[in-house]
Structure 1
Amino acid sequence: MTSIMTNASAMTALQSLSATNRSLETTQGRISTGFRVSEAADNAAYWSIATTMRSDNKALSTVQDALGLGASKVDTAYTAMNRAVEIANEIKVKIVAAVGQSEDNKSKIQTEIETLKTQLKSYADGATFSGTNWLAVNSTVANGHAAAGTHNDAQIISSFNRDNDGNVVLTTIKIGVQDVKLFDAAATTNETKGILEGIRDTTTGARTDGHTQAVAGTVAATTGYSIATLDVVGFSDQQIQQMLVVVDKTLAEMTDAATKLGAAKKSVDLQKTFVSQLMDSIDRGVGQLVDADMSKESTRLQALQVQQQLGIQALSIANGNAQNILALFKG
């Protein structure tokens, strides 16, 4: 049936052209933004996943910064501890040299020891980065510690992730400051004082509460020594040999402390590498979900542009059919 009221061909052509235009608009949007899912309306599930993962990646970027800061703190303490070990070894050599010496020579040796002791304190005090010092501390109750002289572990944020329920989980790398500190201004007992200042037993070399600094010429079971208070002037060879035991044990503890700091340094470095790789993996994963395939979209764009031209042509033909009806009324 031929009708001038209803042009079915034009309707069909218009619907087809409208569908082509919508597809063309979508494709052009993907090409201009680079995303096939740029908002929730495009794909709610993928958009939600991508948005969450992007947010988590920003948090990981902060973790990466924290690891960088933590690495600097550990490296500072590690470097100072290694230098302190070298100085303590020199003190050990001086103690050995003092055995059998005259008081005049002991006085000269003590002058060298005092210089080395000052250098040890300087290394400890100088091991500060961004206001943090793990070698020379002041572990007071006011700073939130359990007891005066007992320092809490330092913590470096190492990762940001989610559990199976989607809850955020932060993990940290802990540094046992109590085990590596060389001086503690707040400590009141030998066992809680720093490695260099706690009075040590003359037999075991362990920091022992109740022991006091030994007096020249007097050997007692409850007296001891520490590197921080070491003095060979006026002391007998027997006492100097006891000092050697104390210095040797102190060196062993300092070596253990350097080992712990070295292990923490390695752990932080490994975690920095892992976090960097993890961020790249998340970026790739998000890209798989929401990025547009530009090769595919460009090909699709060309096809849709052809379809659009054909649709316009078809609509033009359909609209022209109404004009042909006029020919029926010409005489």
Structure 2
Amino acid sequence: MTSIITNVAAMTALQTLQATNKMMEENQTRISTGYRVANAKDNAAYWSIATTMRSDNQAMSAVKDSLGIGAATVDTAYTALDSAKDVLNEIKAKLTTATQDGVDRTKVQDEISQLQAQLKSIADSASFSGQNWLSIDTSSGTYNFHKPVVSNLSRDSSGALSIGTITVDTSKLALFDANTANSSAILNGGVGGNTSANGVTDGTNTAATATAATVSMGSATTGLTLDVNDTIKFDVAIGTGTTAKVLTIDQALVNSTLGVTDGKIAGATAMASVMNAALTAAGVAASATASTAGALSLSTTATGTGTTITVSNTDADAGTAISEIDITDPSISSADIKRLLNAVDNAISKVTAGASTLGAIQNRIDMQTTFVSNLMDTISGGIGTLVDADMTEESTKLKALQTQQQLGVQALSIANSSSEAVLQLFKG
């Protein structure tokens, strides 16, 4: 049926042309933006995933920056320790020279003093972005030796984010500590500054009944580490008017008693064991014990009313700090200088160990930086797979749609011209 009211062919041609035009608009949008999923209406699931991963990738970029700051901080500390090692080697050489008879120790000390000042300068200068791991101050009581370096960002199956870190333990790196009571700083000395001699205090107790006399010796809950030149000494006397015997605790005794190699006494129980070894070595009839709270006590093995036990002359000797070496005193013998040489050599060993630790951390940070960079590239590639447009495919579609559009226009033109043919039926 031919109708001038309803032109079905034109309607069909128009619908086809409109569909083609819509597809062309989508195709041109993809070509101009480079995305096949530019917003949520294109594909809600892919758009949501891509948006989240873009956010994570941006955070990963911040992680990479943090790794860069951490690497620079570690590099700064490593460079300073390496320089400090060289200076300590120079001090060791000067002390070796001073052992020779006829050497002017005053002039040697002048050189050593300059080297000591250089060590302090190196430590004070080893700062990056406000962080200095070599020249510290633990007097506030809140100082934390564990320094975190942000290393990764992860998201679990529930979508929760977590931040990973590489933790650097700086407790064995510090060269100087403004808090002189801290025994861990390499060039400060050892156990000096502890007024209670790390759990050993003077005291006297007399048994009131036929039981052993016991004297409280303080607390040793935190533990300590004795270097090769560190000692703790105290006198113990059993009974009134008896001669006190001197007990000495040094690194050799600690190592042999506890089976360690670094002179570390982990706490009160370990300290009691070391004290018992010292009591046995000195031939004192007493024993040391530690309570669950860490309090140390010393008891006589003899019993009887009126039995006394006395602890006196408690002293903690840290040896000589590297920063305080002075060989100009005429009373200093070659044996004393050799003792100083041992102290310097021990400091060199600690600095070398610290530099080795930092070297391992440098390597790990480098590997993590490379991993994060590669991971960011992988995530970017994954996002592209989800939402990027294939330009080769889109250009091919554009050519086809342009042809379809031209054919649609032609078909619509033909459909519209069919009504004109009806006029010919009414011509005479």
Common fold by TM > 0.5: yes
Structure 2 residue 288 is the aligned partner of structure 1 residue 295 = no
Q: CA deviation at 1:280?
A: 1.4
Structure 2 residue 374 is the aligned partner of structure 1 residue 277 = yes
Matched residue, 2:165: 172
CA distance in 2: counterparts of 1:328 and 1:262, whole angstroms = 99
Q: CA deviation at 1:106?
A: 2.0
CA distance in 1: counterparts of 2:99 and 2:347, whole angstroms = 19
Q: CA deviation at 1:229?
A: 1.2
| Superposition map of 1:216-235 within 5 A | 222=317, 224-234=319-329, 235=332
Matched residue, 1:199: 190
Q: Is the Cα–Cα contact under 8 Å of residues 320 and 343 in structure 2 kept in the other structure?
A: yes
Gaps spanning 5+ residues in structure 2: where?
Answer: 193-225, 235-314
CA distance in 2: counterparts of 1:258 and 1:280, whole angstroms = 33
**RMSD after superposition:** 2.2
List per-residue Cα deviations over 1:58-98 (Å, max 9, x = no partner). 11111111111221111111111100001111111222222
Matched residue, 1:96: 96
Q: CA deviation at 1:140?
A: 3.9
Q: Which amino acid in the other structure matches residue 52 of structure 2?
A: T
Distance 1:133 1:305, change over 3 A: same
Matched residue, 1:185: 178
Matched residue, 2:133: 134
Which is higher, the Rg of structure 1 or of structure 2? Answer: 2
Q: Is the Cα–Cα contact under 8 Å of residues 229 and 318 in structure 2 kept in the other structure?
A: no
List per-residue Cα deviations over 1:42-62 (Å, max 9, x = no partner). 111111111111111111111
Q: CA deviation at 1:114?
A: 0.9
Q: Is the Cα–Cα contact under 8 Å of residues 158 and 172 in structure 1 kept in the other structure?
A: yes
Q: Is the Cα–Cα contact under 8 Å of residues 34 and 391 in structure 2 kept in the other structure?
A: yes
Distance 1:3 1:77, change over 3 A: same
Matched residue, 1:3: 3
Q: Is the Cα–Cα contact under 8 Å of residues 200 and 246 in structure 1 kept in the other structure?
A: no
Q: Is the Cα–Cα contact under 8 Å of residues 98 and 106 in structure 1 kept in the other structure?
A: yes
Q: CA deviation at 1:139?
A: 2.7
Q: CA deviation at 1:178?
A: 1.6
List per-residue Cα deviations over 1:276-322 (Å, max 9, x = no partner). 11111111111111111111111100100110010111111111112
List per-residue Cα deviations over 1:18-60 (Å, max 9, x = no partner). 1111110000000011111111111111111111111111111
CA distance in 2: counterparts of 1:105 and 1:28, whole angstroms = 90
Structure (1 or 2) with the greater helix fraction: 1
Distance 1:282 1:89, change over 3 A: same
Secondary structure of residue in 2 paired with 1:154: strand
Secondary structure of residue in 2 paired with 1:156: strand
Q: CA deviation at 1:152?
A: 2.7
Q: CA deviation at 1:233?
A: 2.5
Q: CA deviation at 1:199?
A: 3.2
Q: CA deviation at 1:186?
A: 2.7
Q: CA deviation at 1:181?
A: 0.8
Distance 1:311 1:223, change over 3 A: closer
TM-score by length of 2: 0.69
Q: Is the Cα–Cα contact under 8 Å of residues 200 and 225 in structure 1 kept in the other structure?
A: no
Secondary structure of residue in 1 paired with 2:6: coil
Matched residue, 1:40: 40
Matched residue, 1:29: 29
CA distance in 1: counterparts of 2:180 and 2:20, whole angstroms = 79
Secondary structure of residue in 1 paired with 2:171: helix
Q: CA deviation at 1:226?
A: 1.7
Q: Is the Cα–Cα contact under 8 Å of residues 139 and 184 in structure 1 kept in the other structure?
A: yes
Q: CA deviation at 1:111?
A: 1.5
Q: CA deviation at 1:204?
A: 4.8
Distance 1:262 1:307, change over 3 A: same
Q: CA deviation at 1:209?
A: 7.5
Matched residue, 2:152: 159
Matched residue, 2:408: 311
Q: Is the Cα–Cα contact under 8 Å of residues 63 and 153 in structure 2 kept in the other structure?
A: yes
CA distance in 2: counterparts of 1:2 and 1:210, whole angstroms = 123
Structure 2 residue 419 is the aligned partner of structure 1 residue 322 = yes
CA distance in 2: counterparts of 1:248 and 1:267, whole angstroms = 29
Q: How many residues align?
A: 313
Identical pairs, percent:
49
Q: Is the Cα–Cα contact under 8 Å of residues 199 and 208 in structure 1 kept in the other structure?
A: no
Q: Which amino acid in the other structure matches residue 359 of structure 2?
A: G
TM-score by length of 1: 0.88
Distance 1:207 1:221, change over 3 A: closer
List per-residue Cα deviations over 1:192-239 (Å, max 9, x = no partner). 4x11112379x952666789xxxxxxxx98451221111223312222
CA distance in 2: counterparts of 1:140 and 1:297, whole angstroms = 68
Distance 1:208 1:173, change over 3 A: farther
Secondary structure of residue in 2 paired with 1:174: strand
